[in-house]
A and B are shown apart, each in its own frame.
Chain A
């Protein structure tokens, strides 16, 4: 491992992505993205719908491959997903035919952990997420917020260093959303994992992130990359909070 690897948790260097759709459609989703993320940063990728946020996250996660350029996560050149980096999706990521317990232990199951051991660890996680009484429920029996909690528990089950989150609270009602944001922050303040969090909500990004990257345009490029220098817990009614929001909104909306 050379020094650069130790400094950055994630390195994205001049990465572009073109999709070739079903009917000969060609969409260039991202163009020449360069981005370094240091360990323990909470990076929010902010942009309006369709600007390539998910594409960038999927590239980092190794779910899709770039046209060119290079992506390194924790020193590994990414060609496919690695165990040290796990992902939380917006919705429909828990398998409906598995109980919550079997869903949360799936990642461990794929890693070859014995049934007893993985159930034990999944139970512990579900406990700490307040879902212990739902171990044997099926996902459709849970509320949206509980489902996302279970999805986060699953992502954390293998003890990853990096957490990717693709609009994880996007499908929740406003109240649950605020609660989940706070819970995530509390968790992150305790563990300080590297988090890359995709959102289209300016206010969510400013509430959560240590750093915000604004994506925009078609193909998507990096419009703005700023640190949020506010202490946690952040006050949404604070004037500085509002200042950050309005300058970021401007960056998002400029053509």
Chain B
């Protein structure tokens, strides 16, 4: 082990620490490089907003900042940005969790068994290219405005009613559809790409199908499944606006955007868009951190 302590990589590391100053400069340089285009964009927006001078077409940046920096304040009578974000997040996480709970086991079965693949994949592929929004009429016809409150039989007076009544089954179904296929596809791919030599090695130790799936296929596919879960969370979050446009919707960022549009508050529309983007970025970053923590063996080479 001693010998490996003096690998070229270690030398480079030592060099870096000697020029720490340089690294700080480098970080500043990179940050500036990334900031140029957004700055130009904001500058352009600002100048156009002054030029157009009509907040119904292009509100000034300060209007949006005003709304965003006061997230607890009630905007246009439909609750605060914070509350709408919170409701959207619960909806997405719920629809997404159900999608993950269905798609991961299904993907494992399809990836493992050729018979299951033949039976299920052509059928599922039929639905693959139908965008979740196209399901809206059907989903509405089936679930109407049934909510978690209706299903659980929670009385209108109960404190949890407000949240549960906002969890419409139809919305959850649309979000489910948005997350389902990315998770399914990645799971199937992860299971199918297991190196045969690992399977043979563990089979030669006397492992049966169950042990093979739990000790080889699933651990091997975990990083790929995780990528699917990451992508699925992104697409679920994207279907949000569509889902919250459904009739009966009375809260959420998607609802906020459509409602603000109807009352001609473009600044609120843009604030809603920015909120969606910020939450999406946070979700992505968080999942990235978790992924890096869980799959060290993968990121450090095979």
Contact of B204 among A87, A94, A98 (CB under 8 A): A87
**In-complex Cβ contact of A89 among B201, B220, B298 (8 A):** B201
Contact with B along A97-110 (1 / 0, CB 8 A): 11000000011011
Q: Is the CB of B197 within 8 A of A91?
A: yes
Q: Which residues of B contact A83 (CB under 8 A)?
A: 206
Q: Does A188 contact B (CB under 8 A)?
A: no
- In the complex, chain B residues 105-127 whose Cβ is within 8 Å of any chain A Cβ: none
Question: Using Cβ atoms and an 8 Å threshold, which residues of chain A touch B201?
Answer: 87, 89, 93-95
Q: Name B302's contact: one of A86, A89, A96 (CB within 8 Å).
A: A96
Q: Does B281 contact A (CB under 8 A)?
A: no
Please indicate the chain B residues that have their CB under 8 angstroms from the CB of A109 in the complex: 215
Contacts of B200 in A (CB 8 A): 58, 63, 89, 93
- B216 beta carbon closer than 8 Å to chain A: yes
Report the Cα distance A255→B211, complex, angstroms.
Answer: 44
The contact string, 1 if C-beta is below 8 Å from chain A, for chain B 211-249, is 100011001101000000000000000000000000000
B294 shortest CB reach to chain A, Å: 10
Residue on B nearest A143 in the bound complex, by CB: B4
With A92-B195, A96-B297, A96-B302 as known contacts, state yes or no: A106 contacts B202, CB within 8 Å. Answer: yes
Return chain B residues, CB-CB under 8 Å to A138: 297, 300
Does A170 reach chain B (CB closer than 8 Å)?
no
B130 interface hit (Cβ, 8 Å): no
A110 touches B205 (CB 8 A): yes
Shortest distance in angstroms between A63's beta carbon and chain B's nearest beta carbon?
6
Contacts of A115 in B (CB 8 A): none
The residue of chain B having its C-beta at the shortest distance from the C-beta of A157 within the complex is: B205
B8, chain A: closest CB distance, angstroms:
17
| Cα A158 to Cα B201 with chains together (Å) | 14
B289 proximal to A (CB < 8 A): no
A71-124 CB contacts (< 8 Å) to partner B: 80-83, 86-87, 89, 91-98, 106-107, 109-111
With contacts A89-B197, A106-B215 taken as known, whether A97 is within 8 angstroms of B297 at the C-beta atoms is yes
Which residues on B sit within 8 Å (CB–CB) of A82? 206
Asked if A140 is an interface residue, CB under 8 A from chain B, the answer is yes
With both beta carbons as reference points, the residue of chain A lying nearest to B294 in the complex is identified as A97
Also in contact, A92 and B198, with CB within 8 A (given A86-B204, A106-B215): yes
Residues in B171-222 with C-beta less than 8 Å from chain A: 195, 197-198, 200-207, 211, 215-216, 219-220, 222
Contact A107 B302 (CB under 8 A): no
Q: Which of A87, A98, A110, A133 has the most CB of B within 10 A?
A: A110
The total of chain B residues at the interface (CB under 8 A) is 24
Give every chain A residue within 8 A of B204 (Cβ-Cβ): 61, 63, 81, 86-87, 164
Which of A63, A97, A154, A164 has most B Cβ within 10 Å?
A97
B301 within 8 A of A: yes
The answer to whether A81 and B216 touch across the interface, beta carbons within 8 angstroms, is no
- Complex Cα distance, B302 from A98, in Å, reads 11
Beta-carbon contact of A95 and B216 below 8 Å: yes
Residue pair B202, A92 in contact (C-beta under 8 Å): no
Q: Within the complex, what minimum Cβ distance (angstroms) separates B242 from chain A?
A: 38
- When chains A and B are docked, how far (Å) is the Cα of A133 from the Cα of B279? 45
Contact A93 B198 (CB under 8 A): yes
B138 within 8 A of A: no
Q: Which residues of B sit under 8 angstroms from A81, Cβ to Cβ?
A: 203-206
User: Judging by beta carbons under 8 Å apart, are B219 and A97 in contact?
Assistant: yes
B222: chain A residues at CB < 8 Å are: 97
Across-interface contacts of B36 in A (CB, < 8 A)? none
Choose among A61, A92, A164 the residue with the greatest number of B CB atoms under 10 Å from its CB: A92
- A107 CA to B211 CA, complexed, in Å: 11
- Closest residue of A by beta carbon distance from B297: A97
- Could you tell me the distance between the alpha carbons of A106 and B207 in the complex, rounded to whole angstroms? 10
- Judge whether A86 and B205 touch: CB under 8 Å: yes
Write the B86-101 contact mask toward A (1 if CB under 8 angstroms, else 0). Answer: 0000000000000000
A82→B205 CA distance, assembly (Å) = 7
Q: Contact check: which of B197, B207, B298, B301 meets A92 at CB < 8 Å?
A: B197
* Interface 1/0 per residue, A139-167 and B, CB below 8 Å: 01000000000000010001000001000
A-B contact pairs, 12 of them (CB 8 A): A81-B206, A95-B220, A96-B298, A97-B220, A97-B295, A107-B205, A110-B206, A111-B206, A133-B1, A140-B300, A140-B301, A164-B204
Interface residues in chain B, defined as those with a beta carbon under 8 Å from any beta carbon in chain A: 1, 195, 197-198, 200-207, 211, 215-216, 219-220, 222, 295, 297-298, 300-302
Complex A-B, nearest 6 residue pairs according to Cβ-Cβ distance, in ascending order: A93-B201, A87-B204, A92-B197, A107-B205, A97-B297, A97-B219
Using A91-B197, A106-B215 as known contacts, list a sample of 11 further A-B pairs with CB atoms less than 8 Å apart, ordered by residue number in A.
A58-B200, A81-B205, A83-B206, A87-B201, A89-B200, A89-B201, A93-B198, A95-B220, A110-B205, A140-B297, A140-B301
